[in-house]
Amino acid sequence: MPGRARIDDITTRTVEGLWRIWRSADPGLRTRVADIARRDSDALAEVFYDTLMRDPAAATFLSHDLVQTRLRGSMAKWLQAVFAIAVEDDVRAVVATNFHVGSVHARINIPLTLIPAGMRVIKRDLTRRLVAEASLPPAEVADAVLFIGELLDTLTDTMHEAYIGDLVGNVRHQQSLKMFMSGQNLAFESERLKGSLLDWLRTVVVGLYERGDAPPSVPSLETSDFGLWLNHKAELTFGAAPELDALRARVHEVTERVDAAVAAGGEAVGATFVRQLDRDVTEISYLLGSITARAVEMESGRDSLTRLLTRRFMPAIFQREVAMSLRHGKPFGVLLIDADHFKQINDTHGHDCGDRVLTTLSELLMSTVRAGDFVFRYGGEEFLVLLAEMDAPALAAKAEQVRDAVANHPVTLPEGRQLAVTVSVGAALHDGHPDYERIIKAADAALYEAKRRGRDRVVLAGAAD
């Protein structure tokens, strides 16, 4: 639910707005609308719910009995209260009811589009009844339409405020629960499954090497503890991750190979067979570890290798920084940093060396930025740095400081050798646009230009050559 202070602020603004709408309307018009709403509230509520019941999206939430016994009567009373306002406290009571209704809708996941659809029908039907009965001249018809529309639209907006606030809270709770479950259990479950794979490998090898009159009896990997997890729980835990398809394919290959050995009575089992089986199990364990590490990284919001923030938190952080920049007039800067020739480093020195380069770069970045700045692993060998309260000269200086720190700090490889590494940097300053993607795209274009000019350099977005 929205914070208490925010609710009070919204309530105050809404009450003031509604009271202003009410007082600005002609008293005679208000009286005529109130009389019709009071007299025809049951019929208007019936039209409202008839409209909702025809919508397939409402079928999950509404039943005929529920509408007849509770909801229609509540809607009729609400309509009477809305148009029977006499003092400002009446407005406050209606707004409080709206917040409650919006919160309930969020808790039971009623689609957000349903209420506006019903409100449109009420506005149309109430206006028609008023025009038909009161024989209003054209000018007063326009006033009536505006009065009814403004009043009901404003009240619908308050429902949406409460709905969205509660919905965001629900999502946060769900994410927190998922994060807790993942953080506490995923790594442990992965190690348990790896242990189960090794138990299966040992059982198979012993079973195939045992000689007897009966055919060797060995368990299938697909029906083992690991196989059952892969078929029934893995996708629920990791979603449609590409590693799962690779895992299933490899498990199927291993199953066929072992089945063939069993059919041959174990005669084909030798050192080559066992080594291949060991390689298969090792690869399955590696794939399992890889998908687990990425899942834990995504749920924790930190990259598993560099321990930097991941892109998951970028929207929340950037939206906040944009708001602060617009409020205080102090721009922020963005650096997009790319490790030069990283693929060549991986191909030449191996992935362990590539990982060492990335962890060294992350440590250098964290030691170069200030406490109020944010460093993200943006993807692969790219990093993104958000620098708070910057101007163009300070941004250029900080970008050059980062480039120089990397160029003068060779990476120590596992065997003790040192590897010179450079980075290209694209820098951009927030220009006041509310969409933060704009500054990221500007920094990305500057990074592309830095690489085009030969790498190991800084390019500031919008700067002249």
* Band of pLDDT at residue 212, cut at 50, 70 and 90: low
Which of 245, 278, 300 is the endpoint of a domain?
A: 300
Give a yes or no: residue 131 inside a domain. yes
Rounded to an integer, the average pLDDT of 45-74 is 72
**Same-domain status, 255 and 368:** no
**Same-domain status, 26 and 170:** yes
Give a yes or no: residue 228 inside a domain. yes
Rounded to an integer, the average pLDDT of 184-198 is 76
**Same-domain status, 167 and 218:** no
Crossing angle of helices 138-209/27-39, nearest 10°? 50
- Rounded CA separation 87/59 (Å): 38
**Same-domain status, 382 and 320:** yes
**Same-domain status, 116 and 158:** yes
* pLDDT at 5 (0 to 100): 47
Q: 360-393 pLDDT, tens per residue?
A: 999 999 989 887 788 999 988 999 999 998 999 9
* pLDDT at 97 (0 to 100): 80
* Band of pLDDT at residue 432, cut at 50, 70 and 90: confident
Most confidently predicted of 104-108, 127-131, 292-296, 412-416: 127-131
* pLDDT at 402 (0 to 100): 96
Q: 103-126 pLDDT, tens per residue?
A: 666 555 566 677 788 888 888 888
CATH code of the domain containing 438: 3.30.70.270
**Same-domain status, 290 and 337:** no
Give a yes or no: residue 400 inside a domain. yes
Which of 267, 300, 333 is the endpoint of a domain?
A: 300
**Same-domain status, 316 and 446:** yes
User: Which range marks the domain in which residue 291 is found?
Assistant: 210-300
Give a yes or no: residue 182 inside a domain. no
Percent of the chain with pLDDT over 90: 20
* Band of pLDDT at residue 2, cut at 50, 70 and 90: very low
Mean pLDDT over all residues of the chain? 81
Assign 386 to helix, strand or coil: strand
- Rounded CA separation 353/416 (Å): 11
**Same-domain status, 51 and 85:** yes
Most confidently predicted of 40-54, 89-103, 338-352: 338-352
Give a yes or no: residue 188 inside a domain. no
Which of 300, 322, 352 is the endpoint of a domain?
A: 300
* pLDDT at 91 (0 to 100): 84
Give a yes or no: residue 204 inside a domain. no
* Band of pLDDT at residue 170, cut at 50, 70 and 90: low
More confident residue, 439 or 462: 439
- Per-residue tokens: 147: 């009065």
Q: 240-292 pLDDT, tens per residue?
A: 677 788 888 888 898 888 888 888 776 667 778 888 888 888 888 888 888 88
**Same-domain status, 164 and 17:** yes
Tokens 């300053």 — which residue?
A: 429
**Same-domain status, 397 and 451:** yes
**How many structural domains compose the chain?**
3
Tokens 């924790």 — which residue?
A: 300
* Band of pLDDT at residue 181, cut at 50, 70 and 90: very low
Give a yes or no: residue 187 inside a domain. no
Give a yes or no: residue 197 inside a domain. no
Long-range contacts of 142-150 (CB under 8 A, 24+ apart): 143/25, 143/26, 143/29, 144/29, 144/33, 147/21, 147/25, 147/29, 147/30, 147/33, 148/33, 148/123, 149/123, 150/21
- What does residue 126 show for φ and ψ, rounded to 5 degrees? -65, -40
* pLDDT at 3 (0 to 100): 47
* DSSP structure class, residue 398: H
CA angle, 337 as apex, 331 and 339 as ends, to 5°? 175
* Band of pLDDT at residue 239, cut at 50, 70 and 90: low
Cβ-in-10-Å burial (0-12, 13-18, 19+) of 187 comes to: middle
**Same-domain status, 140 and 8:** yes
**Same-domain status, 146 and 219:** no
CATH code of the domain containing 67: 1.10.490.10
* pLDDT at 270 (0 to 100): 76
More confident residue, 342 or 72: 342
